[in-house]
Chain A
């Protein structure tokens, strides 16, 4: 299985942008990059996914490096409700999602 590497934890100030990095140096050409987040006492929530091009949606932006060996999830203006564990996952074909330990994001008021 292709693996991802994320920092264990990050902090950010409220109302500032947050850049969450993910390294996936062994990514294959057909792996999609998925991001999920998990708020306390809830199930994971889909955030965004991409293959090669940068992607934007109402929740976040996903910036994918040209060589696809890394990606960055961007929260444009963090709020206290964005405090969660963020998971970067590679998805190949119709294989199931395999979660790592993610990045615990703390938002400082």
Chain B
């Protein structure tokens, strides 16, 4: 297993364009999380899935953001009509056993989005 994979690693887009990021979690992990991180801050929670069900969404996830996890495998995060404030590192993580407290998360390397 190669861990959590995120694509692309970097994305530069013009303001107003739509972007989509992909996350491939560790295959046996049933929980998948999305976080956003800006410079000098810790990662901020956006949303998570248990299998294919999206169980929680942060207030940070505006209507322009949508996430899916079809068939409980990979996940996509789409941002519509991007704004400069969306520039950040988008991190994906997965965990086993329904996210029990004794289980850690495995993070991907992230997708760095720059909106120009």
Known: A43-B110, A45-B107. A94 touches B43 (CB 8 A): no
A56 at the interface (CB under 8 A from B): no
Min CB distance A108 to B, Å, is: 22
Per the bound structure, the CA–CA distance linking A1 and B45 in Å amounts to 14
B21 at the interface (CB under 8 A from A): no
Q: Which of A30, A32, A43, A94 contacts B109 (CB 8 A)?
A: A43
- Once the chains bind, are B109 and A42 in contact (CB under 8 Å)? yes
B8 at the interface (CB under 8 A from A): no
The dominant DSSP class at the A interface is loop
A25 at the interface (CB under 8 A from B): no
Min CB distance A99 to B, Å, is: 3
Q: Which of chain B's residues have a CB closer than 8 A to the CB of A93?
A: 100-101
- Once the chains bind, are A30 and B101 in contact (CB under 8 Å)? yes
Q: Which of B106, B108, B109 contacts A46 (CB 8 A)?
A: B106
- Once the chains bind, are A43 and B107 in contact (CB under 8 Å)? yes
Per the bound structure, the CA–CA distance linking A32 and B45 in Å amounts to 19
Min CB distance B33 to A, Å, is: 6
Min CB distance B86 to A, Å, is: 19
B104 at the interface (CB under 8 A from A): yes
Min CB distance B1 to A, Å, is: 15
A21 at the interface (CB under 8 A from B): no
Q: Which of chain B's residues have a CB closer than 8 A to the CB of A101?
A: 40-42
Q: Tell me which residues from 24 to 72 in chain A have a Cβ below 8 Å from any Cβ of chain B.
A: 30-32, 34, 36, 41-46, 49, 51
B48 at the interface (CB under 8 A from A): yes
Per the bound structure, the CA–CA distance linking A36 and B33 in Å amounts to 16
Counting from the closest, the 7 A-B pairs by CB-CB distance are A43-B107, A99-B42, A46-B104, A94-B99, A32-B101, A91-B101, A99-B43
Chain A residues packing against B (C-beta within 8 Å): 30-32, 34, 36, 41-46, 49, 51, 85, 87, 91-102
14 contacts between A and B (CB under 8 A): A41-B109, A43-B91, A43-B92, A43-B93, A43-B108, A43-B109, A85-B42, A87-B42, A92-B101, A96-B56, A97-B105, A98-B45, A99-B43, A101-B40
